[in-house]
Amino acid sequence: MKKQLAMLAIIPFLCTCVLIYMWQSASAPAITYFQEDPEAGFQGTSTAVKLVSQKTRDSYDVVWKSKSVSENEAYLRQDVTLLFDNGRLYGIKTKWKENTDTIKMKEKITGEDSNYYQAISYHHGEVHNPDDQITSIQQMTYDQLYVIDSPNTSMQSFKKAETDDEHEWERLLGHTTEQQLSYSWNQLMDHFQINKESYTAVPLTGLEKFNHQPLPSFTQEQTNQIIGQLWEGLYKNYVVPFITAESESETLTSFVPVILFNKQNTHLVVLYEVNGKKKRLIQQYPDF
């Protein structure tokens, strides 16, 4: 009887532990930009897309992974990585951990036909200092891969074209992707009645350059804040709906979002669509 009573007492405790673990695994705290920490940073960050094997005559495996290691353990480390296939969103992965310095994500995907893969990751850390001040660290990484699966040639892959054949495939796949994205972005700008001449357009997959290239008329420190707050908005409005849908087995489709930087240096606009529904995110620049 005592053993039965003990088991009855343990079962609710175990169920609670399981529910807490499932909740922590499925949920992800919002990415919040705090003032950049001048004394903290990353030891290493990377994003990689690599062809690893040919499964059948018509399919192959690609490994998509992201990794970041901060110089010291942070109160909260969180990364998000997005993979696009010929301009179409293939998937989003996000992971967070408390009191750690390392975040790793890896997934093997199956592809068919010739494809142009692009992956961009945002690596973030929330640092709680002894004086109760909260600061943050951030870094973006990017990788791309062309996989050529044609009946006329043996399967191959490359990241940057070197031979004449590779340059031709780069041109073909790049042109196909650019056409698809240009059509999508123009539809979005027409829908929201945006004057294209007032903005500089940058695809989400092209943001990595701003790690070391300031926006026009801004310092690198100011650019870092603008980009950090941009990712804060992207995570809440673009990433979270997708990872929530995945947990609910709902299929969502999207293309590479476009970021429009206002030439008057007052704000930026993010345009994207989800299942054909047009979305807009406006972010005012800080009053530097």
Dump pLDDT digits (tens) for 248-288. Answer: 656 789 999 999 999 999 999 999 999 999 999 999 999 98
Q: Is residue 24 part of a domain?
A: no
For residues 129 and 243, membership in a common domain is answered with no
Whether 88 and 196 share a structural domain: no
pLDDT greater than 90 at residue 170: yes
Do both 185 and 155 map to the same domain? no
Q: What pairs with residue 225 in β-bridges?
A: none
Residues 50 and 106 in one domain: yes
Q: Are residues 138 and 106 in the same domain?
A: yes
18 is a domain residue: no
Please tell me whether residues 98 and 141 are part of one structural domain: yes
199 in the same domain as 141:
no
Decide which of 160, 194, 220 is a domain's last residue. 160
25 in a structural domain: no
- Do both 218 and 156 map to the same domain? no
Report the chain's terminal Cα–Cα distance, integer Å: 70
User: Is 253 part of a structural domain of the chain?
Assistant: yes
> Which residues span the domain enclosing 213?
181-284
Candidates 186, 214, 198, 208; CA nearest to 278 is 186
- Domains held by the chain: number: 2
Pair (35, 156) in one structural domain: yes
Of the residues 98, 127, 160, the one at which a domain ends: 160
Is 63 within a domain?
A: yes
Q: Which two tokens stand for residue 41?
A: 């940073």
Are 60 and 71 in contact by the 8 Å Cβ rule? The answer is: no
Q: How far apart are CA 49 and CA 41, in angstroms?
A: 24
pTM: 0.88
Does residue 9 have a pLDDT over 50?
A: no
Say whether both 211 and 154 belong to one domain. no
Cβ contact 165:68 at 8 Å = no
Q: What pLDDT does residue 30 have?
A: 86
Task: Read off the pLDDT of each residue in 45-62 and give the average, rounded to a whole number.
Answer: 89
On the question of pLDDT at 84 being above 80, the answer is yes
The residue type of 232 is: E
CA distance 66 to 80: 8
How far apart (Å, rounded) are the C-alpha atoms in residues 167 and 99?
A: 46
Question: Which DSSP category does 198 fall into?
Answer: G
* pLDDT of 149 strictly over 80: yes
| Same domain (yes/no): 67, 146 | yes
CB 33 within 8 A of CB 136: yes
Q: Last residue of a domain, which of 160, 195, 214?
A: 160
**Is position 81 within any domain?**
yes
User: In the sheet that 267-274 helps form, which strands lie side by side, from edge to edge?
Assistant: 199-203, 258-262, 267-274, 277-284
Task: Give the model confidence (pLDDT) of 204-253 as tens digits.
Answer: 999 999 999 999 999 999 999 999 999 999 999 999 988 887 666 567 89
Same domain, 39 and 128: yes
**Does 8 map to a domain?**
no
Whether 165 maps to a domain, the answer reads: no
What's 49's domain CATH number? 2.60.40
